[in-house]
């Protein structure tokens, strides 16, 4: 609806509500366009174009270009989403209760807190929801991040079949990550008594084909926490390399033996597998 159409509304209440909604919509669009512009300018600079050349191209002063590069929405927020984030976390039923409710592990909630803090740092809000057993998570929605492995969210093992490079699979020894093409296996060191775990980080397609979602899953809860820590520590690099493309990778994290909720180190141990483009 254009300005003339809004002004032509005879009912003042309707005119106020319509104008208010359009202002909110345009502000969101301006914010996202500013992010896209800043990302493009940074890409031009990385391609050896100078700020003076960019200023000439955009018909503005060099100081204005410098302002655009230092202000506004950080481009890397697009890696997480374009609006309020929902983090769906697999839960377990409480033990020892006649009417048990679904609860989260301390590590899974810690992963949420890391990502929520990261989201706030780039101008996004975040909320979480517990997915109770049997783990029927709703994936067909925007700005979604899913946490915890297919042990708690069984449907995710099927969705991961869209990943040509990595899968979570299960055998008589338990769950582990596998590269289907090479046969390489990432079996959790925690299963052998070490204070370490593997985690999966990937962007997978929604079942409805209308987008994608981020998926972070450790073989155990510590791996999920480590995956969140890796994303938080490497957001700029991940965005620069991947933008919002589908991908997957494996991380290895070590944690404090006295406090399993404290990750002491995290590193990527597989390539950043790009699924398309």
Number of domains in the chain: 2
Q: Where does a domain end: 73, 103, 128?
A: 73
What pTM was computed for the model?
Answer: 0.76
Same domain, 120 and 154: yes
What's the domain range around 49? 3-73
CA pair distance 267, 105, nearest whole angstrom? 23
Same domain, 123 and 211: yes
Q: Where does a domain end: 56, 73, 90?
A: 73
CA pair distance 22, 245, nearest whole angstrom? 30
Same domain, 32 and 145: no
Q: Where does a domain end: 25, 58, 73?
A: 73
Same domain, 33 and 134: no
Q: Which of these, 122, 161, 130, 162, lies nearest to 146 by C-alpha position?
A: 130
Same domain, 69 and 83: no
Q: What is the CATH number of the domain that holds 216?
A: 3.30.379.10
Residue pLDDT tens, the chain, 277 long: 778 888 888 888 888 888 888 877 776 677 677 777 877 887 887 788 888 888 888 887 777 777 677 665 678 889 999 889 999 999 988 776 666 678 899 999 999 999 999 999 888 999 999 999 999 999 999 999 999 999 999 999 999 999 999 999 999 999 999 999 999 999 999 999 999 999 999 999 999 999 999 999 999 999 999 999 999 999 999 999 999 999 999 999 999 999 988 999 999 999 999 997 4
Same domain, 140 and 255: yes
């Amino acid at each position: 609806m254009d300005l003339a159409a809004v002004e032509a509304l005879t009912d003042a209440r309707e005119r106020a509500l319509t104008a208010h909604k359009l202002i909110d919509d345009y502000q969101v669009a301006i914010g996202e366009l500013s992010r896209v512009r800043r990302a493009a300018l940074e890409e031009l600079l990385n391609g050896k174009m100078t700020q003076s050349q960019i200023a000439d191209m955009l018909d503005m002063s060099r100081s204005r270009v410098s302002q655009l590069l230092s202000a506004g929405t950080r481009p890397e927020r697009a890696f997480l989403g374009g609006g309020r984030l929902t983090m769906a976390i697999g839960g377990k039923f409480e033990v020892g209760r006649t009417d048990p409710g679904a609860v989260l592990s301390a590590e899974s909630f810690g992963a949420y807190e890391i990502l929520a803090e990261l989201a706030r740092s780039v101008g996004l809000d975040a909320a979480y929801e517990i997915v109770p057993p049997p783990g029927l998570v709703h994936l067909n929605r925007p700005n979604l991040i899913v946490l915890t492995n297919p042990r708690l969210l069984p449907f995710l093992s099927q969705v991961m079949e869209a990943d040509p490079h990595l899968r979570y699979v299960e055998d008589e020894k338990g769950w582990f990550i596998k590269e289907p093409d090479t046969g390489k296996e990432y079996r959790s060191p925690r299963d052998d008594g070490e204070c370490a775990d593997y985690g999966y980080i990937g962007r997978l397609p929604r079942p409805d084909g209308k987008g994608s979602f981020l998926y972070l899953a450790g073989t155990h809860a510590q791996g999920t926490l480590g995956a969140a820590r890796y994303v938080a520590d490497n957001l700029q690099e991940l965005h620069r390399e991947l933008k919002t493309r589908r991908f997957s990778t494996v991380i290895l994290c070590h944690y404090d033996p006295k406090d399993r909720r404290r990750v002491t180190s995290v590193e990527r141990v597989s390539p950043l597998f790009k699924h398309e483009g």
